Amino acid sequence: MVILTACDSDNPGPGIPNVPVSEQISVNSLQYPMLRLDGGYAYIQAGYRGIIIIRQTANSYYAFERACPYDPDASCGVVSVDQSNLFLTHSCCGSQFNFQGNVTAGPAVYGLLQYKTSLANNILYISN
Ligand code: FES
């Protein structure tokens, strides 16, 4: 029997390469219509494999690395918001994370890598 799996790591850990992150976006930009609502999100091209920005409130945002903390180099995808809009998931083998980045279903054991955020004059700064 052949078992196909994308999760081939024997040592699930936070092995996400530390790439420099220094981004800024306008949270009012037409590019990010979802950021106008609490719980809304946007994807940007930054970090190791992309970053998810999630609006908690108008003054508070999370920024998470999209590389899976279980297998950051999994070729089958990156972490995305589920269609239900209730959690984040990695399509490869289904790890799930809540909107605070914590694991809610394995095989991942570590939460999403989080980047720092700060907001000034509607500009959100995202950095390591
Ligand atoms: S690599 Fe399997 S859940 Fe992410």
pLDDT of residue 125: 98
Among residues of the chain, what percentage have pLDDT more than 90? 77
pLDDT of residue 87: 95
Structural domain that includes position 74 = 22-127
Q: Which residues contact 100 (CB under 8 A, 6 or more apart)?
A: 62, 111
Q: Measured in angstroms, how far is the CA atom of residue 127 from the centroid of ligand 1?
A: 24
- Flag whether 1 is in a domain: no
pLDDT of residue 74: 87
- Flag whether 100 is in a domain: yes
* CATH number, domain with residue 83: 2.102.10.10
From atom 1 of ligand 1, which residue's Cα is the shortest distance away? 71
- Long-range CB pairs of 71-79 (<8 Å, 24+ gap) are 71/6, 71/7, 71/8, 71/9, 71/12, 72/15, 72/16, 72/17, 72/48, 74/6, 74/7, 75/6, 76/6, 78/49, 78/50, 79/52, 79/112
| DSSP type of residue 35 | G
Q: Measured in angstroms, how far is the CA atom of residue 8 from the centroid of ligand 1?
A: 9
- Flag whether 14 is in a domain: no
The pocket around ligand 1, CB under 6 angstroms, is made up of 6-7, 68, 70-71, 74, 90, 92-93, 95, 107-108
Number of domains in the chain: 1
Q: Which residues contact 36 (CB under 8 A, 6 or more apart)?
A: 28, 55
**Ranges of the chain with pLDDT below 50:** 9, 11-12
CB atoms under 10 Å from CB of 35, counted, come to 21
- Flag whether 9 is in a domain: no
